[in-house]
Amino acid sequence: MGGVIIHGRSDATMNRLGVRIGGADIYEVVEQIPDIRDALVVGVEQPDGGYWMPLFVDLADGAELTDALVERIRSAIRTRVSPRHVPDEVIEVPALPRTLTGKRLEIPVKRLLQGVPVEQAINPDAVDRPQALAWFAARPPQGSKEQVAMTTVDNSLEELVRTLFIAVDRRDADALADLFADDITFRFGSADCLAGKSDVAVTCATFLGRINGIRHEIEHFWQVEADRIVVIMTVHYERADGRKLSLPCANTFRIVAGRVADYRIFMDVNPVFA
């Protein structure tokens, strides 16, 4: 008695209006556009029964996501694949995460967009650039259209976050704690989430006391919601043994009433203490 074994990743297949869509066809077209370094498409079921299929793009150096480029992407997909494959939105991201073996992370990213916490969606230690998860984790769930445009950053929020980084770079734990809300939640890498100003302040002070120096080189500010900021950066460390190293990092912040209510650091901290 014979049988057929089907190999594939059916869990990453999108079902849009009853039509099954594979991302591979879209990637084959998009990757031939020189302005695009990497791309990721997901299908997100929404509570109202709708379906949101965004295409996230990491642009090549010097490229801009203009209306002309968006139309070029849409036209190429429409012509070379089908109109049903055209994404609902084309959205620029600072970076796209992959597994350590280079596979795209459609399912974890979809879950992040549905509001699943990072620690439940994927193990950051299994991601090549865990800092790239931050942008998705900070977005409102279910592809909400209510977030502030990513290129518009509220000046008061940016000033508060920059003040926080100044305190960290000076290793001034007291000044850092002054910026925390009483009910702050905090997570560093894949460590357990902490809650409460006192515990978070002690943890931050302990970390700063274990290194000789730190400096944040900020690359991008993104505002993904009225009270949420994502910051992409390189962090320059001087370890306790004098060794210096630079690591990619992303932070997300939720600001409430002028204080940091949620603070998450996405990076591999192991090299700092290895």
In percent, the amount of the chain with pLDDT more than 90 equals: 56
Q: Give pLDDT tens digits for 90-117.
A: 999 888 999 989 999 999 999 888 888 8
Q: Pairing relation of β-strands 211-225 and 228-239? A: antiparallel
Burial class (CB in 10 A: 0-12, 13-18, 19+), 234: middle
Same fold, 10-141 and 155-273: no
> DSSP class of residue 61?
T
The CATH code of the domain at 155-273 is 3.10.450.50
Phi, psi of 127 (to 5 degrees): -110, 140
pLDDT at residue 152 in the model? 64
Confidence of residue 17 (pLDDT cuts 50, 70, 90): low
Residue 62, number of CB atoms within 10 A of its CB: 6
Q: Which two tokens stand for residue 91?
A: 């959205």
Q: Give pLDDT tens digits for 187-222.
A: 987 788 999 999 999 999 999 999 999 999 998 888
Q: Find where tokens 């009483």 sit.
A: 182
Q: What is the distance of C-alpha 56 from the center of its chain?
A: 11
Q: Give pLDDT tens digits for 134-146.
A: 888 877 665 454 4
Q: Which residue has the higher pLDDT, 264 or 270?
A: 264
The topology (CATH level 3) of 10-141 is: GMP Synthetase; Chain A, domain 3 (3.30.300)
Average pLDDT over every residue of 140-156: 60
The three-state secondary structure class of 50 is coil
Q: Which residue has the higher pLDDT, 267 or 251?
A: 251
Q: Indicate left, alpha or beta for 146 from its phi (over 0: left) and psi (-120 to 50: alpha).
A: alpha
pTM of the entire structure?
A: 0.69
Positive or negative, the CA dihedral 85, 90, 91, 97 is positive
pLDDT at residue 149 in the model? 46
pLDDT at residue 49 in the model? 76
The three-state secondary structure class of 104 is strand
Average pLDDT over every residue of 39-67: 89
Q: Which residue has the higher pLDDT, 76 or 221?
A: 76
Q: Is the pLDDT confidence value at 7 over 80?
A: no
Residue-range domain boundaries for the chain: 10-141, 155-273
pLDDT at residue 141 in the model? 67
pLDDT at residue 222 in the model? 84
Q: Identify whether the C-beta of residue 112 lies closer than 8 Å to the C-beta of residue 132.
A: no
pLDDT at residue 8 in the model? 42
The Cα–Cα gap between 31 and 155 comes to 36
Q: Pairing relation of β-strands 259-266 and 180-188? A: parallel
pLDDT at residue 12 in the model? 65
Q: Identify whether the C-beta of residue 113 lies closer than 8 Å to the C-beta of residue 144.
A: no
The three-state secondary structure class of 48 is coil
